[in-house]
Amino acid sequence: GQQVMQIPQYQHVQEGEDFTTYCNSSTTLSNIQWYKQRPGGHPVFLIQLVKSGEVKKQKRLTFQFGEAKKNSSLHITATQTTDVGTYFCAGSSTGNQFYFGTGTSLTVIP
């Protein structure tokens, strides 16, 4: 099946520092979605990227889709304690079935 890897697996940052997680697929993707899962919660949709080289911003979050559509990144500027959680990318090569990455668990130290 489709393989979607994320690095790092864990990240601890001081509040106010930046954070980046990277997502890599073994196959070319049709689109990629990003989700956030708070501890004890369920994944919540953040954004979808479709176009090669696409960059989207949501306040302090910046999402990028690679030119080859095989990788993506999520960057958070000036982290806050509310950013705590696990961030997952979910890629699809068909636009239909979405396969989740391994996730990056973010801890923000006040």
Partner 1 sequence: EAEVAQSPRYKITEKSQAVAFWCDPISGHATLYWYRQILGQGPELLVQFQDESVVDDSQLPKDRFSAERLKGVDSTLKIQPAELGDSAMYLCASSIRQSNSPLHFGNGTRLTVT
Q: In angstroms, rounded to a whole number, what is the distance separating the alpha carbons of residues 101 and 9?
A: 10
Least separation, in Å, of the C-beta of 95 and partner 1? Answer: 4
Q: In angstroms, rounded to a whole number, what is the distance separating the alpha carbons of residues 29 and 18?
A: 27
Contact (Cβ atoms closer than 8 angstroms) between residue 51 and residue 65: yes
Output the six-digit token pair for 45.
């949709």
Residue nearer to partner 1 on the CB measure, 76 or 89: 89
The site for partner 1 (CB under 8 A) is made up of: 1, 4, 6, 30-31, 33, 35, 41-45, 48, 50, 88, 90, 94-103
Least separation, in Å, of the C-beta of 40 and partner 1? Answer: 10
Q: In angstroms, rounded to a whole number, what is the distance separating the alpha carbons of residues 20 and 80?
A: 14
Residue nearer to partner 1 on the CB measure, 42 or 59: 42
3-state secondary structure of 82: helix
Least separation, in Å, of the C-beta of 35 and partner 1? Answer: 8
Residue nearer to partner 1 on the CB measure, 79 or 86: 86
